[in-house]
Amino acid sequence: MNRLNLQSNHIIEYIIFIIVIFASTSIVTNENIVENDVLLEVDSIQGTVTLSTRAAMSALGLGEDTRTGATATVNLTVNSIKSEGCDSCDSTPVGIHITGNVEIENIRNQMGGLGRVEGELSITYLKEYLDSNFISKEWFTIDWNASGGTELDTFTHIMINHDPPKWELNNRYKAAFVTIDENKESRTGPWLFAHGLVDGVLNIQGCLPDSLSCENSLNPDINLTSTKKSVESPIILPHFNGLVQLTNLESTNTTPEKNQKLRELFKVNNETNIHNILCDENEEEILALKSWEINISNNNIIAPMSLWLDILDLPSSTFIQVNGFWTELDYSNSGCASISDSENNIRLSILNK
Domain boundary pick from 238, 267, 290: 238
Position 275 scores a pLDDT of 95
Looking at residue 310, its pLDDT comes to 46
Low-confidence spans in the chain with pLDDT less than 70: 1-38, 59-61, 110-114, 148-152, 169-177, 186-190, 215-217, 297-321
**What pLDDT score does 317 carry?**
56
The answer to whether 294 touches 272, Cβ cutoff 8 Å, is no
Final residue of a domain: which of 198, 221, 238? 238
Measured CA to CA, the distance from residue 252 to residue 263 in angstroms comes to 17
Indicate if 153 and 267 belong to the same structural domain.
no
Residue 6 belongs to some domain of the structure: no
Residue 222 is assigned to a structural domain of this protein: yes
Whether residues 216 and 76 share a domain: the answer is yes
| The pLDDT value given to residue 188 | 61
User: Residues 74, 101: contact at Cβ < 8 Å?
Assistant: yes
38-51 vs 222-230, strand pairing mode? antiparallel
Q: Rounded to whole angstroms, how far apart are CA atoms 292 and 274?
A: 8
Does any domain span residue 316? yes
What was the pLDDT predicted at 9? 37
* Burial class of residue 238 (count of CB atoms within 10 Å of its CB; 0-12, 13-18, 19+): exposed
Q: Are residues 36 and 51 in the same domain?
A: yes
Report the alpha-carbon angle 98-100-101, nearest 5. Answer: 145
Q: Are 179 and 289 within one domain?
A: no
| 115 and 171 housed in the same domain | yes
Name, in order, each residue with C-beta under 8 angstroms of 135's C-beta and a sequence gap of 6 or more: 127, 128, 129, 162, 165, 166, 168
Same domain for 252 and 201, yes or no, is no
Q: What is the pLDDT of residue 165?
A: 87
Same-domain pairing of 162 and 251: no
* Together in a domain, 114 and 167: yes
Q: Which domain holds residue 191?
A: 11-238
Per-residue pLDDT, 352: 86
pLDDT of residue 49: 86
Number of domains in the chain: 2
Summarize pLDDT for 156-192 with one digit per residue, the tens. Answer: 898 989 888 888 765 444 555 677 777 777 666 667 7
Q: Kindly state whether residue 5 falls inside one of the protein's structural domains.
A: no
Do 256 and 183 sit in the same domain of this protein?
A: no
Identify the domain boundary among 238, 255, 272: 238
99 and 233 belong to one structural domain: yes
336 and 191 in a single domain? The answer is no
